[in-house]
C-alpha cells in the first residue's frame, strides 16, 4: 500500500495505460479520480475499482479546456479532501510524414498532448501548494526523444512535454512537489493497435533489445514508484520504460556472419 491515504487524478484514464495506472494506484491505497473525454468509459473504470473495494469517482473532461482542468482538480478536493498526485496521461497521435501533416493535425495534437497537460498540471499544482506536497507525472514518449518516421507532430508535442517537466520540477522543487516524466516506448494498448501497422511493429521489434512491446502494467509500475514516497528525491527525471529502445546501439551477434535476428512475433 505505497499510496495509502493519497488522492490522485489521472487524465485519459477511461482506457489504455491511464486505466491500468488508475487500477494500480487504487490497489496501492490511493483514492483516484478517473477522468476522460469519454465519460462512459471513465465511469465504468471507477465503478469497477469501487466494486473491488477501492476508492474512485469519474468525471468527464476535455484536457484542452481550462475550466475542465479546474473541474478535475476540484473533483479530487470535493470527493476526497485534497489532491496529492496528478498524472498527465491523456494523449492523441497520428502517424504522418512531415510533409503530409496538415496544420489541423499539428494543432490538435499540440493542444491535447502539450497545452492540455500544461493546463491540468497548473490546476493540480495550485491545489497541492497549500499542502507543500505533490507529485506530477507526465506521460511523454520515446517518440519525443528519437526522430521516428511519421512522428513530426506527435514527437514534437512529447519533446516539449519533457522540457516543460524540467522547468516545472525546478520551479516547484522547494514547494515539496516533484515533477517527472515517464517515456514509454512501444506499449501494447488500443492506441498502438490502431496506429501501428505491421511495418511499424516489425521496426519496433528490430530496434528494441527486449524484442517486444511493453505492457501497460509495466508503465503503471513506474508510475506507482514516481508517485510514492520512495521517489521523494527524484526531480525532473525522465524514466524510460522502453525495453532498452533508447539505449541500444548496434545489435548483432559478435563473430557471426549472419544478419541480425529477425523481428520477434
Ligand atoms: N501506446 C503506446 O505505445 C504509447 C507510447 C508512448 C507514449 N504513449 C502515451 O501514453 C498515453 C496513453 O496512451 P494509450 O496508448 O493508453 O492511449 P489510449 O488512446 O488507449 O488512451 C488515451 C485516453 O485519453 C483519452 N483522451 C483523448 N483525448 C482527450 C482529451 N482531449 N481530454 C481527455 N481525455 C482524452 C481517450 O479518450 C483515451 O481514453 C498517451 O499520452 C500516449 O501519447 C503511448
Which residue blocks in the chain are alpha helix, DSSP H? 16-27, 39-51, 66-80, 103-110, 116-128, 152-172, 190-195, 198-207, 216-227
Asked if residues 86 and 9 have their Cβ atoms less than 8 Å apart, the reply is yes
Mean pLDDT, the chain, integer: 96
pLDDT band, residue 265 (cuts 50/70/90): very low
Identify the active-site residue in 154, 204, 213, 245: 154
What atom in ligand 1 is closest to the CA of residue 187? 3
For residues 61 and 35, the answer to whether their CB atoms sit within 8 Å is yes
Angle at 173 between CA 169 and CA 176, to 5 degrees: 120
**33-49 mean pLDDT:** 98
One of 3.40.718.10, 3.40.50.11540, 3.40.50.720, 2.40.50.140 is the CATH number of 7-241, namely 3.40.50.720
All residues at 6 or more sequence positions from 183 whose CB lies less than 8 Å from its CB, including other chains: 140, 141, 142, 144, 145, 158, 162, 238, 239, 240, 241, 242, 246
Q: What is the helix (H) or strand (E) element at residue 167, kind and residue range? A: helix 152-172
pLDDT the model gives residue 194: 87
Query: pLDDT, tens digit, for every residue of 206-258?
Result: 999 999 999 999 999 999 999 999 999 999 999 999 999 999 998 888 888 77
Structure confidence at residue 188 (pLDDT): 95
Pick the more confident residue, 255 or 90.
90
Q: Which pLDDT score, from 0 to 100, does residue 191 have?
A: 84
Distance 135 CA to ligand 1 centre (A): 20
Active site residue 154: yes
The rounded Å distance from CA 88 to ligand 1 centre is 10
Sorting pLDDT into bands at 50, 70 and 90, what band is 97?
A: very high
Do residues 134 and 176 touch, judged by C-beta distance below 8 A?
yes
Do 229 and 36 touch, CB atoms closer than 8 A?
A: no
pLDDT of residue 259: 67
**pLDDT above 60: residue 264:** no
Q: What pLDDT digit, counting tens, does each position of 154-208 carry?
A: 999 999 999 999 999 999 999 999 999 999 999 999 888 888 899 989 989 999 9
Q: How many helices (H) and strands (E) does the chain have?
A: 9, 7
Amino acid at each position: 500500500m505505497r499510496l495509502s491515504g493519497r488522492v490522485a487524478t489521472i487524465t485519459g484514464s477511461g482506457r489504455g495505460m491511464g486505466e491500468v495506472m488508475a487500477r494500480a494506484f487504487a490497489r496501492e491505497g490511493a483514492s483516484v479520480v478517473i477522468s476522460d473525454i469519454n465519460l462512459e468509459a471513465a465511469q465504468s473504470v471507477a465503478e469497477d475499482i469501487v466494486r473491488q473495494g477501492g476508492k474512485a469517482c469519474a468525471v468527464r473532461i476535455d484536457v484542452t479546456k481550462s475550466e475542465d482542468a479546474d473541474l478535475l482538480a476540484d473533483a479530487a478536493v470535493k470527493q476526497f479532501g485534497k489532491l496529492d498526485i496528478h498524472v498527465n496521461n491523456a494523449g492523441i497521435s497520428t502517424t504522418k510524414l512531415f510533409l503530409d501533416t496538415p496544420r489541423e493535425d499539428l494543432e490538435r495534437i499540440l493542444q491535447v498532448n502539450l497545452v492540455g497537460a500544461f493546463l491540468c498540471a497548473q490546476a493540480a499544482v495550485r491545489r497541492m501548494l497549500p499542502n507543500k506536497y505533490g507529485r506530477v507525472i507526465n506521460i511523454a514518449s520515446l517518440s519525443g526523444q528519437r526522430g521516428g518516421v511519421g512522428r513530426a507532430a506527435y514527437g514534437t508535442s512529447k519533446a516539449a512535454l519533457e522540457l516543460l517537466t524540467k522547468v516545472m520540477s525546478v520551479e516547484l522543487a522547494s514547494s515539496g512537489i516533484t515533477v517527472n516524466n515517464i517515456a514509454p516506448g512501444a506499449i501494447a494498448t488500443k492506441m498502438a493497435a490502431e496506429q501501428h501497422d505491421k511495418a511499424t511493429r516489425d521496426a519496433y521489434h528490430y530496434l528494441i533489445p527486449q524484442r517486444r512491446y511493453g505492457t501497460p502494467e509495466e508503465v503503471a509500475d513506474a508510475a506507482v514508484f514516481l508517485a510514492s514516497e520512495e521517489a521523494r528525491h527524484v526531480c525532473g527525471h525522465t524514466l524510460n520504460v522502453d525495453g532498452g529502445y533508447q539505449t541500444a546501439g548496434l545489435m548483432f551477434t559478435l563473430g557471426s556472419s549472419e544478419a541480425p535476428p529477425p523481428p520477434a512475433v
